[in-house]
Structure 1
Amino acid sequence: MVHRVGIFALGALLAVVAGFWLFADGGQGLPGAGIENVGQQTAGRSVALPEEVAGSSSAEDSVPPLPRDERISDIDVDGSVRVDMNGNLVLDPSLRRFLDFYIGLTGDQVHGEALRQRLAAEMRQRGISAQVQLEVLEILDDYLAYRGASEALAVRRSGNVEDLQAVLDELKDLRRKHLGPDVAEGFFGAEEARLRLMLDRQRILADESLSGHERDQALAQVDQLLPEFSVQTRRRSEAVVSTSLKVSEMREQGASEEEVRAVRLEAYGPEATQRLSRLDEQRAQWQSRVAEYRRQKALIDQAGGLTAEDRQAEVEALRVRMFETEHERRRISALDRAGDDGA
């Protein structure tokens, strides 16, 4: 069980690491607080200001829209631009999320100038000083360069912990090269440290030379270095994986649905158990419909006197009769092409 859970956890870790370079689409995750001003807003470098920063809020109407604006009509901006009590820009993950949010609205690099103008307008509207605006836009340019450079790593896929470690090391170097040490640490430092500890856990789980007691001790030492929220999240994930594996094994051994329900109740509570039961019912209904569809399709396939065009038309008509939505019909068509049983 330890190794099966460890393999699943490594898959989850792969998804987390992939998130370093496969960026969210439009920042449509957790909504944030927009622009936040803390203390004075006077610090910054004394340089000439570009036009989009030097403009006033009255110029906001002329700012070009971004291609994916319609996707955020009913959600708040994720992330924020903050300054400390001395007026210095705070370099933190919230600023990174703010940039990601608006980068996600462009869709590609063609709209770089529109993106700069949009960010400047958003910051002007919230009273961010011109010098801080300039610093944010300079970081934006560096951040876009980093994102472009990091895309080459997205094609590298491996379940090997050492390969993942090498990719993380390359990303760390790439970030500091493009962003500088201060911005890179503020944007990614905590995340990098957490992922390194997660990789350490995977090495321990994969080390077959360790006894059960030695493994538990080593894992406990790693967990002491993790932030509490990471420990709790990992424990919940492992509990879900463990329960799912247990349910699968119980069903293979002929356990009743009441026995499965009792295990889920103990692990998840009544609400989640009820949702899982509904999902089980929906899955069973779908598989039953697929089985009946396959039976009737086999009769069409075996029928004599039909041309290929007539046979295909009969199959299409069968799909329309048995599957109500276009999504279901596309799904059954894909299963037909794959020769799948719909499970």
Structure 2
Amino acid sequence: MKKLSLALCVAALTAAALLLLQPDLTESPIAAEVNPEGLQPAQSDASGDEQASKPRQSDPPMTTPVWNGANFARALAGTDIDGDLRVDENGLLIMDIQVKDFFDYFFLAVGERTPEEVVAEIKRRIYDRLPAPAADQAMGLLNDYISYQERIRELMAAPLAPAESQNYEYYASVMESTFEQLKSLRRQIFAPDVVDAFFGLDEAYSGYALAVMQVKADAQLSDKEKASQVEALQQKLPAQMRDAHRQAAQRESLTREARRMYREGYSADSVRQALRGRFSDEKAEKIITYYQREEEWRARLGDYQRRKQDIQAAARTDAETIAGLTQLRNSLFTSEELKLVESYDAIERKAAQYDKP
């Protein structure tokens, strides 16, 4: 491809903090690839008629039924609402990361639900949970957060340099520039206390990740000097993040070894034994199940690629090719998987266009 998107850089910065703070490796490979960032930004403006969602004083008190995520979106099936909306002794909204987590939870449904439906659901819950002053604060934050997500999409649309000129040093430079743009954007939209509450930990770890990239990109340093500087950077992290980083690194190393064993044909019992001690029995079983599904998915995708080439070689017309590939996809993949496979095919076609002289 002749150019890439800054989406890669934004995603990497986000993932750096998420992998540190939520190092759960049991997500299905299909879901992870469909939604690698874990969040799809809302695409509408929430500044419409807010009064339509506000309860009037004469309305009867509202009650919130028991939450069943599957009734709202399949992506939320089996989950509890993340985050929370709370007030202090003065009836004002408590500004912390839980407010952002609350918004993000519902935005996961965008795609299955329209942005308008998701925003309407968040509004209903804001006015159901909070008294008037705090509800107004939360609505203002929601509007700002939607604006922020829209601006991020604009940032992600900016092209990078041609692929042939991209290297580790280039990515380190672009990541630093992207990080600074994100920090600037947040401070343009949100008040300082909101920036600290919503993005404080994220920025602390993203800054560390960028510093590590810059050290590793420094050709003047020996491997020993790089390791020493990275260790010094880790020591500057807040204690909470330093401990989380150490635990995440240990888990990553262990699961990498377990994956290697699984792919080399070790029995499930051997893999389970390797995971024991660092993970609970329940989590170990989930990781093994993940590996099994990952291998099964890879096998089906490889089979599809081989049979697709046969169909393309044998077809005499474009219509025959389309019909053959449609039948093949439907025979191998579920309706949810088809979306991912069709995306792969679209990327492949686009790459082939770029490769033409």
Q: Which runs of 5+ in 2 are unaligned?
A: 1-6, 18-36, 43-49, 64-69, 161-169, 277-283, 353-357
Matched, 1:55 2:60: no
CA distance in 1, matches of 2:203, 2:86: 22
Matched, 1:99 2:103: yes
The SS at the match of 2:60 is helix
Cα separation, partners in 2 of 1:58 and 1:157, compared to 1, 3 Å: farther
Q: 1:52-131 maps to which residues of 2 (within 5 A)?
A: 52-53=53-54, 55-56=56-57, 58=60, 70-71=72-73, 72=76, 75-85=79-89, 87-103=91-107, 111=116, 115=119, 118-126=121-129, 128-131=130-133
Structure with the greater alpha carbon radius of gyration: 1
Instruction: Describe the superposition over 1:309-335 as per-residue Cα deviations: whole angstroms up to 9, x where unpaired.
Output: 6x9759957985898345599959949
CA distance in 2, matches of 1:283, 1:110: 33
Q: TM-score, normalised by structure 1?
A: 0.59
Q: 1:1-343 maps to which residues of 2 (within 5 A)?
A: 15-17=11-13, 24-25=39-40, 52-53=53-54, 55-56=56-57, 58=60, 70-71=72-73, 72=76, 75-85=79-89, 87-103=91-107, 111=116, 115=119, 118-126=121-129, 128-156=130-158, 160-226=171-237, 227=241, 228-237=243-252, 257=264, 272=287, 276=291, 280=295, 283=298, 287=302, 300=314, 308=316, 324-325=331-332, 334=345
CA distance in 2, matches of 1:51, 1:321: 48
Residue 140 of structure 1 aligns to which amino acid in structure 2? L
Q: Looking at both structures, which has the greater relative contact order when contacts are Cα pairs under 8 Å and sequence separation is at least 6? A: 2
Instruction: State the 1:170 CA deviation.
Output: 1.8
Instruction: State the 1:278 CA deviation.
Output: 7.2
2:304·2:328 contact (CA, 8 Å) conserved in 1? no
* Match of residue 45 from structure 2: none
Instruction: Describe the superposition over 1:110-157 as per-residue Cα deviations: whole angstroms up to 9, x where unpaired.
Output: 839x936x445324433x221111111122222223333332211246
* Match of residue 36 from structure 1: none
Instruction: State the 1:173 CA deviation.
Output: 1.9
Cα separation, partners in 2 of 1:282 and 1:149, compared to 1, 3 Å: closer
Q: Which runs of 5+ in 1 are unaligned?
A: 1-10, 28-48, 62-67, 252-256, 302-307
The SS at the match of 1:79 is coil
Instruction: Describe the superposition over 1:56-78 as per-residue Cα deviations: whole angstroms up to 9, x where unpaired.
Output: 563869xxxxxx97315764322
CA distance in 2, matches of 1:282, 1:110: 31
1:81·1:90 contact (CA, 8 Å) conserved in 2? yes
1:161·1:199 contact (CA, 8 Å) conserved in 2? yes
Residue 224 of structure 1 aligns to which amino acid in structure 2? Q
Cα separation, partners in 2 of 1:182 and 1:273, compared to 1, 3 Å: closer
Instruction: State the 1:187 CA deviation.
Output: 0.7
Instruction: State the 1:16 CA deviation.
Output: 3.4
Instruction: State the 1:223 CA deviation.
Output: 1.6
Cα separation, partners in 2 of 1:166 and 1:180, compared to 1, 3 Å: same
Cα separation, partners in 2 of 1:241 and 1:312, compared to 1, 3 Å: same
Residue 122 of structure 1 aligns to which amino acid in structure 2? R
The SS at the match of 2:144 is helix
Q: TM-score, normalised by structure 2?
A: 0.57
Instruction: State the 1:183 CA deviation.
Output: 1.0
Cα separation, partners in 2 of 1:334 and 1:217, compared to 1, 3 Å: closer
C-alpha RMSD of the superposition: 5.2
2:9·2:178 contact (CA, 8 Å) conserved in 1? no
